[in-house]
Every structure is written in structure tokens, then in C-alpha cells.
Amino acid sequence: MKKYLIVGLGNIGAEYHRTRHNIGFDILDAFAEASNIFFAPGRYADVAQTSVKGRKLILIKPTTFMNLSGKAVRYWMESEKIPIENVLVVVDEIALPLGLLRFKPKGSDGGHNGLKDIQVKLNTPNYPRLRVGIGNDYPKGHQVQFVLGKWTDEEWDQLQPKIKKSVEGIKSFALQGLATTMNQFNG
């Protein structure tokens, strides 16, 4: 059975719940809810598992905090023997408009500390990711406050269809591969 590691980036703790930086956690929570599975504490991450048409998906939400996400990714890749092309990292992206989805096969960290740590721990920037646009509507010098800020009710409502689309995109990644998924879900 082919295995896939789906990584949602975020920070643990109630103070980070429904913040822009935690969209990776929110999308994995939606995936788990739609699949009727639950997260349980595991090594370096909260973990949930499911199968989709003969493929095993291991979902992790690192408990290492954002800036040390690579530790959890590397541990679960190694312990489950999952090749890098079967890893998908779901991450917030300020360079994209709110709700825009962008599957990519590789890329720079774009100044994102979670991606930066993953790149260092895996020794490569070449791993699939789903970048989810959170917009960049903040005054100069207030990026940290913006990404760690809570969604407005209006933004959260606007994101719901995009979160559902992300869940379908994750399934597509495992079932049809990255190229097909990029064609169907980007934009």
C-alpha cells in the first residue's frame, strides 16, 4: 500500500486557534472531520490515519511549534518510510490572495520559518506543498502580528469553500499525483 504523509503547519495552543498561521492545522482538521477520523498524540505531532482507495494517508500536525516543524516531518518520513515525493506540506502564504490555493512540487521557503526548518532538516527545498493564500492586508512592519492574528468572521466564512477544496486536493494528490492535482486545483 502506497503511503503519503500530509503535514499541516501551525502552532499548538489555544492562543493560536484559528489564526492565519494555522491554516495548515485547520485544513487537516477539516480532512479528519470529513473522513471521520481523529487526531491522537504521537511523537512530535498529533497524528491521524486513513485509507483512500488503497492508499494510506498519515496526517500530522507538528507539536514542535512552527519554527521546528522539520523535526516532526523528518521523524514521520523516516519511521513510516515515506519518500519525499509522497509528502505534502500544507502552509499559509502571505504572497497569495486570501483563499487562493497553489500546489507546487518544490520552492523556496519564501521567508516562512516552518518551511525553512523543513528544508534544513530534509536537506532540500524539493518537496510538494500546498500554499494557501492568507493575503497581506497589514501595515508595513506588522507581518508577525498579521500572520499570528485571528481570522475575522468574514474571512473565516470566505475560507470555508477553499478549505473543503483543499481537502479534495489532498485526496487528489494521493490518488492522481501532483501534476494532475496542480492542473485541477491551482488558482
The C-alpha cell 489564526 sits at 19
Angle of CA points 15, 20, 23, to nearest 5°: 100
Q: Which residues contact 179 (CB under 8 A, 6 or more apart)?
A: none
- Does residue 17 have an active-site annotation? no
* Alpha helices, H only, the chain: 23-35, 69-80, 113-122, 143-147, 153-176, 178-185
Residue type, 53: K
* Residue 31 to residue 63: CA distance in whole angstroms: 18
Neighbours of 90 (CB within 10 A): 27
- Give catalytic residue positions: 21
